[in-house]
Structure 1
């Protein structure tokens, strides 16, 4: 009986070891392809929100990291992609977090030029309620397009609130928490950028993407 249990235990242990080795091998084999696909997706997003006409640099290679917990919604360093033309900064795309979404963090990227005009906004990751809060995804609705072309004026922040809070941004029927959290994250991020853009442009901490 004991020998049978020992034998079965050894077989299970060997099976687990083989499975772990197979998973590790698959991960090792697919990691470069996953990294490549993520880079291509990132490049596609950056070119959607920063017009090619205003820059002549490689946006992914211009990535640097900044840390601003209150403004960016996380203690982690976040990527910023700087668009330059003839070596002069023209705009930046900042990744930021809305930490108070209905179902947790909403990962956002917002592009803004030196004058404070928002060039584009995209949702990079979210877990909001399907059919309600997930309308922050461009493939679900055009809601994020509402921000493109808006001027961010620190002296006129009221327009950067949802209409239910007296602002100018549409909320979703039956789902105010998500757009409220989203617009708050944009307010915080854009306020930070406009107050610190020279330091952001001068940052010398490169992202991993810049090494790809």
Structure 2
């Protein structure tokens, strides 16, 4: 029994090239669609987590009420900081200010709630790669260590006291992990210094309505 011959067009090189191209195009399109959907989900998750953190360090009642759209950027000590303004009766009553410092395992990011008088309402770690079971006591979910910043300000805590006890400061360190709490203390202190340096703009309710590009340009000019 003879094997049926394939149609002539299937024997042409151009046919196979076109077929492979179509398969590649379909595969690429599927990957792009999946990537876009994943990005949207990741971004939505990040916004939810950010809203939760802002609610934990400001008088915002729920994460859904977090003022994610009221951002102000300031440049302090060579680094840009983002702040979210919390308004009461048209005035900025507090800001949630991002800061960071180098920990043992990498960058530790902190968000600090600061009232208009420059006093810490609360602080929360938003990102870190510290050693589990050793350096992760900086997380509010694991210990109350980070609550020690509440009520602190540049006015009631001397410059030299913004350090762990091992360095002559007022903040506890962890047994076997000094670098981690030292970094968080530095990040919170930096947030207060940035607030103090840019207090006028951070407490200006109009600043939170400007575009990110305008805010960055003004921060560079300041």
TM-score grouping bracket, smaller chain normalisation: 0.7 to 0.9
User: Is the 8 Å Cα contact of residues 65 and 206 (structure 1) preserved in structure 2?
Assistant: no
**1:87-139 deviations in Å (ceiling 9; x for gaps):** 112111111111x2112211110011122221111111111111122222222
Match of 1:82 among 78, 82, 85: 85
- Please say which structure displays the higher CA radius of gyration: 2
Distance in 1, matches of 2:138 and 2:157, equals 26
1:33 CA displacement: 2.9
Match of 2:96 among 89, 93, 96: 93
Q: Match of 2:186?
A: 184
Distance in 2, matches of 1:85 and 1:174, equals 43
Distance in 2, matches of 1:80 and 1:69, equals 16
**148 and 15 in structure 1: CA distance in 2 versus 1, 3 angstrom threshold:** farther
User: Is the 8 Å Cα contact of residues 118 and 152 (structure 1) preserved in structure 2?
Assistant: no
1:80 CA displacement: 0.5
Q: Match of 1:6?
A: none
- 5 Å-filtered alignment, 1:1-212, equals 20-52=28-60, 59-70=67-78, 74=79, 77-98=80-101, 100-153=102-155, 156-202=158-204, 203=207, 205-207=210-212
**172 and 20 in structure 1: CA distance in 2 versus 1, 3 angstrom threshold:** farther
TM-score by length of 2: 0.73
**154 and 188 in structure 1: CA distance in 2 versus 1, 3 angstrom threshold:** farther
Q: CA RMSD in A?
A: 2.9
**123 and 141 in structure 1: CA distance in 2 versus 1, 3 angstrom threshold:** same
**1:169-204 deviations in Å (ceiling 9; x for gaps):** 111110101111211122122022123210233446
**1:18-57 deviations in Å (ceiling 9; x for gaps):** 665443221212333332222222112111111138xxx8
Q: Which runs of 5+ in 2 are unaligned?
A: 1-18, 214-222
1:14 CA displacement: 8.9
Q: Tell me, what secondary structure is at the counterpart of 1:91?
A: strand
**183 and 168 in structure 1: CA distance in 2 versus 1, 3 angstrom threshold:** same
**1:138-159 deviations in Å (ceiling 9; x for gaps):** 2232221221222332771233
TM-score by length of 1: 0.76
Alignment: residue pair count = 190
Distance in 1, matches of 2:150 and 2:140, equals 13
